[in-house]
Amino acid sequence: MSRRKITPGKMLTNFSLWLFAILWLLPFIALVVMSVKPYTEVILYGWWTLGGNYSLKNYVEVLTNPSYNFLAGLKNSFLISSISTIIPVLFAAMTAYSLTYLYFKYKTLLFIFILFFMSVPQQMVVIPLFNLYAKTGLYDTFIGIILLHSAWGTPWIAFFLRNYFKMIPQSFVEAARVDGASEAEIFFKVLLPVSIPALVAASAVQFTWVWGDFFYAMVFLPTPANYVVTQRLALLKGQYHIDWGLLSAGAILAMLPPLLMYLALKKYYVRGFIGWGIKG
């Protein structure tokens, strides 16, 4: 676009868009303010008054009170989300490699199935897996839910990485083949290094997704000691009385890891999310 003169109309658009952005951000601002104020003050004067007492008491309470056990939830979430990111990214890269560079029958069929798996709702798998897990001892274990998340993440990442691999010039791989490199060598030494942006994008989104999962966790991790952070947060809400001070401190702690990842990797992240799209 060519730069034109600043007209009143343009200034008005600018102004209204910024106003819109601030309105959009307002719930987050409120959450932050509430988390550092005693709830009694928020109730009396509202979070929009800036005076009053500020403290990190809510955070300390959420993290140290053994009945909330938030720290354990964060730890479990970190463990599950990290491993449930590494496995499917590797599996998906292998699948995408096969779809792009190997020759075999039913390739298109496999691709269609992968697209189909991407759109299946989570509700469609829990009943049989619940029985299977009960029989095999995977129920209520981290391994059980990690395997499920890994399988669940593989299709969309495979689709995403395949699109990326398609953009890499074929001559890249062909040249390595002519030089006599094995497929495994090509995959690890030629393809993966040039695909790092895509691998980062997919990892960031998959981590966020597993971190935010609530449904699978509720079904497959019923023991409080195994609760992930989303379960801890839902529990913090309480049935009738809501202490928004505690709750907003908890909410901020629970959203911090994906948020930091988003801020650090913004460009990759948005790219990954566009590929994530129809994920169940």
Partner 1 sequence: MRKQDFKDLLMFLGAPLLTLAIFVVYPIVATIVISFTKGGLSFTLENYREVLLETIPLKALVVANPEPYPPWGALVHNAVWILIAVPAVVFLGMLLAYALRKTLGSSFILGIIFLGMVLPGVVSGLIIRFMFDADIGIFPRIFALFSIPILSRTWTIYPQSALFALILGSVWLWLGFSVTLYSAGLDSIPPSLIEAALVDGASEREIFIKIIVPQLKPVTIVVALMTIMWILKIFDIVYVVTGGGPGGSSTVLALIMYTYFASALEYNKAAAVAVMLAVLTLIPAYWYIKMILGSEKQ
User: Which residues, numbered 187-216, are part of the site for partner 1 (CB under 8 A)?
Assistant: 187, 208, 211-215
Q: Which helix (H) or strand (E) holds 16?
A: helix 8-35
C-beta of 46 vs 56, nearer to partner 1: 46
Decide if residue 177 touches partner 1 (CB under 8 A): no
To partner 1, the closest distance from the beta carbon of 196 in angstroms equals 19
Q: How many CB atoms lie within 10 A of CB 220?
A: 21
Decide if residue 259 touches partner 1 (CB under 8 A): yes
Decide if residue 219 touches partner 1 (CB under 8 A): yes
Enumerate residues 32-51 that contact partner 1 by CB under 8 A: 34, 42-43, 46-47
Give me the 61-90 binding string for partner 1, x by CB under 8 A, dash otherwise. ------------------------------
Rounded to the nearest 10 degrees, what angle do helices 266-276 and 142-167 cross at? Answer: 100
Interface residue with partner 1, options 86, 120, 168, 200 (CB under 8 A): 120
Q: Tell me which stretch binds partner 1 (CB under 8 A): 56-64, 67-75, 190-198, 262-270.
A: 262-270
Tell me if residue 124 falls in helix, strand or coil: helix
To partner 1, the closest distance from the beta carbon of 231 in angstroms equals 8
The CA dihedral of 32, 33, 37, 43, to the nearest 10 degrees, is -120
CB 244 within 8 A of CB 42: yes
Interface residue with partner 1, options 83, 155, 191, 198 (CB under 8 A): 155
Enumerate residues 236-255 that contact partner 1 by CB under 8 A: 237, 244, 247-248, 251, 254-255
**CB proximity list for 211: less than 8 A, separation 6 or greater:** 77, 81, 229, 230, 257, 258
Decide if residue 125 touches partner 1 (CB under 8 A): yes
Question: Whole-angstrom Cα distance, residue 231 to residue 150?
Answer: 20
Question: Whole-angstrom Cα distance, residue 107 to residue 210?
Answer: 29
Decide if residue 1 touches partner 1 (CB under 8 A): yes
